[in-house]
């Protein structure tokens, strides 16, 4: 599964054309990462209900405007979970003790890798429903969809089957993990997640703090 | 209930699958059914018992304190009701009821935040409730983290008298999600006293077969298989294997030697009926169990079937810098010593933290936990203190060795029970209460006594390693031959692993390395399997590599050729240029670690350490820092320069420690990731950069409670505290830490950083805002100078 190395470098704040040495180091490490770690993902279809202004997923409320807007046209939704697994965390920890440059790179590459795995799972879902249209993929923390949903989503998704858990402070563990919702609709869906106002990093991104954007 | 590899035992099938088809909604807590609808549970158990299950798993898989907390019900209540429902379902048969223990749903530290002992106590609560309610055995299942499996197994053994089966889940790569191998699982769980071990869930029987074959060869215990009915369809949730197909695949598993079989997700009473009919008249296949010595971490089993080097460097004896690290709790330094040995080819690391002023009972487990985070090598715990050994063996993830006991019955009686309880290997020194033996004969006799004592404690002979004692040849010349002869006989007559601390031999002689190397080669020839040496000494490792070629262990000389084909060309000599320091700044800016430390070493011959720091190191870092701020350099370059500077610092500190001089440190800074947060790479980046400006960084790690930060602030009189948080959910912990620090009589300056922290947020709390590592350095300069 290829991952986007430029995207990983952007996570590190590298703008413009990276120098050859850095790019080469990133490419080598990326090759090592993809051969050493297999991302695990799993998804399942769950029913959505819109009644009385309340949106529920398999009987559980999905609070907030963001989910309601995103899933407005949908009666079912794929719940996707994905993780690089604890082996990645251990490797990253060992690398931090050896070489912080490589560790920072690996950390960024890991983020890009888990995104790539989610993309691949999303394609799989799209292929299973060739007549349906998929919404953008979004996660707790997006807009006003609360992080407090995390434990319920993990339970619904059977997350233990891929070794994914969350801490009492609602952090996913292992670190490079995603829980996401993708709605299925019968009509084309507009791409809503684009630009800074929809980004999870909206208030915290180093580009915005510096007055620029990452230009995605 | 007794286990025996020749008798078939049939386990039940899935509970969750049955509950879902009975209408359980996804996400509902199935354990509560024991209270709300026990009849449903009883009817499912009954169907499994009717179809021939010998063991019924009660519906207690997730009945732990954490999951039940929001429901208001206690573990005792739920477990008691679940066992009662299971017993009601099979009371008319001979079937046994198991209290079923699944993962807690939270990762143990260091992967997550759950402390090991908290996990043990949660598991103990379930197991004890199960035993009180009348369970016949305990089952620990679906574990993917060997550390969590160990916590659960220890809990069952300590809290109950129940027999216990343990199964873990593996994926198609042949490892669990945390990277645990089949060999490591077998060595660890068998050592800890499981009654049967095996594999359940995640895959179907065909995919599990190769792993089960491996397990059957790796353990003496009866082996369990409880696979899924194939794989589920994500849309329908249905599993792929029919009862007949499942049963047919299970026959192959039984032929491979597995004697305890059942079904996991997707299996039904019909699967169990088909399974029973297919295998009940089959005798489990004969198992070829490999008798072998092994130590391991979850990811790295080290089989002792050749020469394995034990690294000796984690030891304060005669090492000033190491002693200083121990006294200052500088675990990072100890980690670096471990990493260097791993990279140099050690297979096992000896760990000795005994030094005046160091509390071993506290320190040994802390060092073990630190080492487990940074290396994958198994450890050999080097202490004579049974309490320290017990504390450390408890937190070992995998199977360790203990160094050492000797032939003194009092020592054996104190330490062997600890070794047995935690399933470790043990090194026996061939001396006893009457002192050092003079002859090989006496050494072998003591070795026999140690072996007998170990066997009597239930420690298998593969786990007894004998150290025939290296004495200094310049003082007792005839003893070298006696040692070698004893090694030969222990290996030949007793067939045990042999250990020797090699370097002692040459003490007091010129060209020590030559004598040590020659002795090593002779000892290997005599049958030494586990030399304890300094793996950073290339000549010693070269000798081991050559010996492996001659003994045939290094097949086709592959490792030997690789070692010397890749050997780096000798480092170029830097000409001595008097008091000038050529290019130190350049070397740092370009991130050339080796060059930078070499130039610094040369410069220290002629100039004071402080001038290197002030005139070269800090200006170089400032230049990279300025480029970084201006967007001309990026984080990787900043970190490269910082690491090169760190290498220079290491050289300086070594020199200062050796001369007993004052360090060049400026002021203390605490740095920590707040309670509940385990993402610490940002904090570590700041630490890497700041350390080079001469500040003494007290890195308290991740998930650090406010109280700990306050306590260290007071104790070490710290004037600047750096806190990091990644998630909005951990900001409250950051605020609480700030609040407690600001209530101190003489509150320290505080800087905040991390993805979710903004300038306004920090300002509102009355703190500095460190937007990145460079900014943190500027704050430190303004606060501490």
pLDDT of residue B654 exceeding 50, the answer is yes
Domains of chain B: 9-279 (3.20.20.330), 294-554 (3.20.20.20), 584-659 (1.10.1240.10), 668-784 (3.40.50.280)
Distance from C-alpha of B595 to C-alpha of B606, rounded to nearest angstrom = 18
Is the CB of residue B630 less than 8 Å away from at least one CB of chain A?
A: no
Residue B573 has a pLDDT of 43
pLDDT of residue B126 exceeding 60, the answer is yes
State pTM to two decimals.
0.91
* Interchain contact, B234 vs A163, CB within 8 Å: no
Q: How far is A192 from chain B (nearest CA, A)?
A: 23
CB-CB contact of B334 with B367 (8 Å): yes
Q: DSSP character for B283?
A: P
pLDDT of residue B540 exceeding 90, the answer is yes
Beta strands in B468-545 (DSSP E): 497-501, 530-533
Of A58, A89, A203, the CB nearest to B111: A89
In a domain, A175, yes or no: yes
Residue A210 has a pLDDT of 59
- Best mean pLDDT range from A6-15, B310-319, B661-670: B310-319
For residue A24, the SS3 value is: helix
- For residue A8, the chain B residues in CB contact (below 8 A) are none
- For residue A92, the chain B residues in CB contact (below 8 A) are 681
- For residue B237, the chain A residues in CB contact (below 8 A) are 44
In a domain, A214, yes or no: no
* Interchain contact, B688 vs A174, CB within 8 Å: no
Distance from C-alpha of B336 to C-alpha of B357, rounded to nearest angstrom = 22
Residue A173 has a pLDDT of 94
> What are B542's two structure tokens?
């070269």
The DSSP bridge pattern shows strands B668-674 and B696-704 to be parallel
Q: What are phi and psi of B674, to 5 degrees?
A: -70, 165
Residue A195 has a pLDDT of 60
For residue B642, the SS3 value is: helix
In a domain, A161, yes or no: yes
The DSSP bridge pattern shows strands B379-382 and B348-351 to be parallel
DSSP string, B346-384: -SEEEE----TT--HHHHHHHHHHHHHHH----EEEE-S
pLDDT of residue B568 exceeding 80, the answer is no
Is the CB of residue B673 less than 8 Å away from at least one CB of chain A?
A: no
> What are B320's two structure tokens?
């000033």
CB-CB contact of B643 with A101 (8 Å): yes
Q: How far is B466 from chain A (nearest CA, A)?
A: 32
Instruction: Give Cβ neighbours of residue B546 (< 8 Å, ≥ 6 apart).
Output: B560
Q: Cβ–Cβ contacts within 10 Å for residue B458, how many?
A: 12
Longest dimension (CA), chain B: 93
Q: What are phi and psi of B768, to 5 degrees?
A: -80, 155
The whole domain housing A81 covers 5-209
* Interchain contact, A171 vs B733, CB within 8 Å: no
The H or E element containing residue B464 is strand B464-467
> What are B329's two structure tokens?
């709790």
Q: Which residue of B has its CA nearest to A43?
A: B234
pLDDT of residue B249 exceeding 80, the answer is yes
Of A97, A104, A175, the CB nearest to B685: A104
Q: Cβ–Cβ contacts within 10 Å for residue B25, how many?
A: 11
CB-CB contact of B381 with B351 (8 Å): yes
- For residue B678, the chain A residues in CB contact (below 8 A) are 167, 171, 173, 175
> What are B561's two structure tokens?
């050729």
- For residue A149, the chain B residues in CB contact (below 8 A) are none
DSSP string, B657-687: HHHT-------EEEEEEETT----HHHHHHH
Q: What's the mean pLDDT when you consider all of chain B?
A: 93
In a domain, A215, yes or no: no
Point out the least confidently predicted range of B367-381, B387-401, B578-592, B732-746: B578-592
Residue A202 has a pLDDT of 56
Best of B69, B144, B177, B647 to substitute, by most chain A Cβ atoms within 10 angstroms, is B177
* Interchain contact, A100 vs B639, CB within 8 Å: yes
C-alpha dist (Å) from residue B758 to A204, B124, B394, B765: 7, 44, 42, 11
In a domain, A147, yes or no: yes
Over residues B468-496, mean pLDDT:
96
Tens digits of residue pLDDT in B20-51: 889 887 767 899 999 999 999 999 999 999 99
Rama region for B23: left / alpha / beta (φ>0; ψ in -120 to 50; rest):
left
Distance from C-alpha of B579 to C-alpha of A116, rounded to nearest angstrom = 54
In a domain, A109, yes or no: yes
Of A160, A175, A206, the CB nearest to B679: A175
- Going edge to edge, which strands form the sheet with B696-704? B696-704, B668-674, B720-724, B749-753, B768-769
Residue A198 has a pLDDT of 54
Q: How many distinct structural domains can be found in chain A? A: 1
* Interchain contact, B339 vs A98, CB within 8 Å: yes
Best of A20, A92, A160 to substitute, by most chain B Cβ atoms within 10 angstroms, is A160
- Residue B144: name the closest of A164, A65, A78 by CA: A164
Tens digits of residue pLDDT in B154-187: 999 999 999 999 999 998 889 998 899 999 999 9
The DSSP bridge pattern shows strands A177-185 and A74-83 to be antiparallel
Q: How far is A17 from chain B (nearest CA, A)?
A: 11
Residue B574 has a pLDDT of 43
Of A89, A97, A204, the CB nearest to B335: A97
In a domain, A112, yes or no: yes
Residue B281 has a pLDDT of 84
Q: How far is A191 from chain B (nearest CA, A)?
A: 25
Q: DSSP character for B229?
A: S
Best of A12, A42, A59, A167 to substitute, by most chain B Cβ atoms within 10 angstroms, is A167
Distance from C-alpha of B374 to C-alpha of B582, rounded to nearest angstrom = 35
Is the CB of residue B341 less than 8 Å away from at least one CB of chain A?
A: no
Q: What's A143's domain CATH number?
A: 3.40.109.40
Share of chain B above pLDDT 90, in %: 75
Of A44, A101, A171, the CB nearest to B237: A44
Distance from C-alpha of B697 to C-alpha of B694, rounded to nearest angstrom = 9
Distance from C-alpha of B191 to C-alpha of B365, rounded to nearest angstrom = 19
pLDDT of residue B571 exceeding 50, the answer is no
Low-confidence ranges of chain A (pLDDT < 50): none
Distance from C-alpha of B781 to C-alpha of B767, rounded to nearest angstrom = 15
* Interchain contact, A85 vs B758, CB within 8 Å: no
Q: Which residue of B has its CA nearest to A97?
A: B374
Of B110, B373, B758, the CB nearest to A203: B758
Point out the least confidently predicted range of A47-61, B52-66, B244-258: A47-61
Instruction: Give Cβ neighbours of residue B312 (< 8 Å, ≥ 6 apart).
Output: B350, B501, B503, B532, B533, B534
Is the CB of residue B339 less than 8 Å away from at least one CB of chain A?
A: yes
Residue B24 has a pLDDT of 85
- For residue A104, the chain B residues in CB contact (below 8 A) are 635-636, 639, 681, 685
Which of 221-250 (B) contact A at CB < 8 A? 234-235, 237
- For residue B771, the chain A residues in CB contact (below 8 A) are 206, 209
Q: Which residue intervals of B259-330 are DSSP H helices?
A: 269-279, 320-327
Work out the angle at residue B294's Cα, subtended by the Cα atoms of residues B289 and B300, and round it to the nearest 5 degrees.
110
Query: Would you place residue B125 in the very low, low, confident or very high pLDDT band (cuts 50, 70, 90)?
Result: very high
Residue B183 CA, distance from chain mean position = 15
In a domain, A126, yes or no: yes
Reported ipTM: the value is 0.86
Residue A207 has a pLDDT of 63
Strand partners, B348: B310
Share of chain B above pLDDT 70, in %: 97
* Interchain contact, B639 vs A170, CB within 8 Å: no
């Amino acid at each position: 599964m290829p991952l986007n190395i430029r995207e990983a470098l952007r996570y590190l704040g590298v703008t413009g054309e990276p120098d050859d040495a850095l790019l080469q180091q990133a490419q080598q490490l990326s090759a090592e990462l993809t051969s050493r770690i297999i991302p695990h993902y799993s998804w399942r279809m769950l029913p959505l209900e819109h009644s009385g202004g309340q949106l529920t997923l398999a009987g559980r409320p999905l609070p907030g405007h963001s989910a309601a807007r995103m899933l407005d046209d949908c009666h079912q939704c794929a719940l996707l979970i994905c993780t690089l697994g604890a082996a990645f965390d251990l490797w990253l920890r060992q690398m931090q003790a050896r070489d912080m440059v490589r560790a920072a790179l690996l950390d960024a590459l890991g983020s890009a890798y888990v995104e790539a795995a989610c993309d691949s799972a999303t394609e799989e879902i799209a292929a299973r429903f060739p007549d349906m249209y998929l919404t953008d993929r979004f996660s707790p923390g997006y807009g006003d969809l609360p992080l407090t949903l995390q434990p319920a989503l993990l339970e619904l998704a059977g997350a233990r089957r891929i070794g994914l858990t969350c801490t009492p402070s609602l952090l996913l563990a292992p670190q490079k993990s995603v829980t996401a919702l993708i709605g299925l609709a019968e009509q084309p869906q507009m791409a809503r997640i684009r630009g800074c106002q929809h980004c999870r990093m909206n208030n915290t991104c180093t580009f915005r703090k510096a007055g620029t954007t990452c230009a995605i | 209930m007794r286990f025996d590899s020749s008798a078939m035992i049939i386990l039940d099938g899935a509970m969750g699958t049955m509950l879902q088809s009975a209408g359980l909604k996804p996400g509902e807590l199935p354990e509560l059914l024991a209270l709300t609808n026990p009849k449903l549970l009883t009817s499912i158990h009954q169907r499994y018992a009717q179809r021939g299950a010998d063991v019924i798993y009660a519906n207690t898989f997730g009945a732990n304190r954490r999951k039940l907390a929001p429901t208001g019900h206690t573990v005792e209540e739920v477990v008691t009701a679940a066992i009662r429902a299971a017993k009601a379902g099979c009371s008319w048969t001979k079937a046994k009821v198991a209290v079923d223990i699944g993962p807690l749903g939270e990762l143990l530290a260091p992967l997550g935040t759950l402390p090991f002992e908290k996990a043990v106590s949660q598991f103990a609560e379930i197991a004890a409730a199960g035993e009180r309610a009348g369970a016949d055995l305990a089952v620990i299942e679906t574990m993917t983290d060997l550390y969590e499996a160990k916590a659960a197994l220890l809990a069952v053994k300590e809290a109950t008298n129940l027999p216990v089966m343990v199964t873990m889940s593996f994926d198609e790569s042949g490892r669990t999600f945390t990277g645990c191998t089949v060999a490591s699982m077998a060595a660890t769980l068998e050592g800890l006293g499981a009654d049967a071990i095996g594999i359940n869930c995640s895959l179907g029987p065909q995919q599990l077969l190769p792993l089960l074959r491996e397990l059957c060869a790796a353990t003496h215990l009866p082996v369990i298989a409880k696979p899924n009915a194939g794989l589920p369809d994500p849309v329908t949730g249905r599993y792929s294997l029919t009862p007949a197909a499942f049963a047919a695949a299970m026959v192959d598993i039984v032929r491979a030697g597995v004697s305890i079989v059942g079904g996991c997700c997707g299996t039904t009473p019909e699967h169990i009926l088909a399974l029973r009919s297919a295998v009940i008249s089959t005798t489990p296949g004969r198992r070829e169990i490999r008798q072998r010595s092994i130590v391991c971490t979850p990811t790295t089993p080290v089989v002792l079937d050749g020469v394995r080097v034990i690294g000796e460097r984690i030891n304060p004896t005669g090492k000033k810098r190491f002693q200083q690290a121990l006294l200052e709790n500088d675990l990072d330094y100890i980690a670096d010593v471990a990493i260097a040995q791993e990279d140099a080819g050690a297979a096992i690391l000896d760990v000795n933290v005994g030094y005046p002023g160091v509390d071993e009972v506290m320190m040994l487990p802390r060092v073990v936990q630190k080492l487990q985070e940074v290396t994958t090598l198994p450890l050999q715990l080097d202490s004579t203190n049974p309490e320290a050994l017990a504390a450390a063996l408890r937190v070992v993830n995998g199977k360790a060795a203990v160094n050492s006991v000797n032939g003194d019955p009092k020592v054996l009686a104190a330490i062997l029970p600890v070794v047995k309880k935690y399933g470790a290997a043990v090194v026996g020194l061939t001396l006893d209460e009457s002192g050092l033996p003079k002859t090989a004969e006496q050494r072998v006799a003591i070795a026999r006594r140690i072996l007998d004592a170990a066997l009597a404690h239930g420690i298998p002979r593969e786990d007894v390693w004998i150290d025939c004692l290296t004495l200094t040849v310049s003082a007792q010349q005839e003893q070298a031959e006696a040692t070698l002869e004893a090694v030969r006989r222990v290996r030949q007559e007793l067939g045990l692993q042999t250990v020797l601390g090699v370097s002692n031999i040459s003490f007091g002689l010129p060209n020590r390395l030559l004598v040590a190397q020659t002795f090593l080669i002779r000892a290997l020839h005599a049958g030494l399997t586990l030399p304890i040496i300094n793996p950073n000494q290339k000549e010693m490792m070269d000798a081991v590599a050559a010996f492996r070629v001659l003994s045939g262990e290094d097949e086709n000389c592959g490792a030997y050729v690789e070692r010397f084909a890749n050997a780096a060309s000798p480092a170029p000599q830097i000409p001595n240029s008097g008091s000038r320091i050529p290019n130190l700044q350049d070397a740092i800016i370009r991130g050339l670690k080796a060059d930078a430390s070499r130039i610094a070493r040369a410069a220290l011959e002629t100039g004071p350490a402080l001038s290197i720091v002030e005139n070269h190191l800090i200006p170089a870092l400032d230049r990279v820092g300025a480029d970084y701020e201006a967007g001309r350099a990026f984080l990787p370059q900043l970190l490269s320069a910082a690491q090169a500077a760190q290498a220079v610092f290491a050289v300086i500190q070594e020199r200062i420690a050796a001369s007993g001089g004052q360090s060049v440190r400026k002021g203390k800074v605490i740095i920590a990731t707040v309670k509940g947060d385990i993402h610490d790479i940002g904090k570590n980046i700041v630490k890497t950069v700041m350390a080079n400006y001469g500040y003494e960084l007290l890195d308290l790690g991740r998930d650090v409670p406010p109280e700990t930060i306050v306590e260290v602030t007071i104790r070490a009189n710290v004037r600047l505290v750096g806190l990091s948080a990644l998630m909005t959910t951990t900001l409250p912990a950051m605020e609480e830490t700030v609040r407690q620090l600001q209530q101190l009589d003489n509150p320290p300056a505080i800087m905040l950083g991390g993805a979710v922290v903004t300038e306004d947020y920090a300002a509102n709390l009355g703190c500095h805002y460190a937007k990145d590592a460079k900014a943190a350095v500027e704050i430190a300069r303004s606060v501490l100078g």
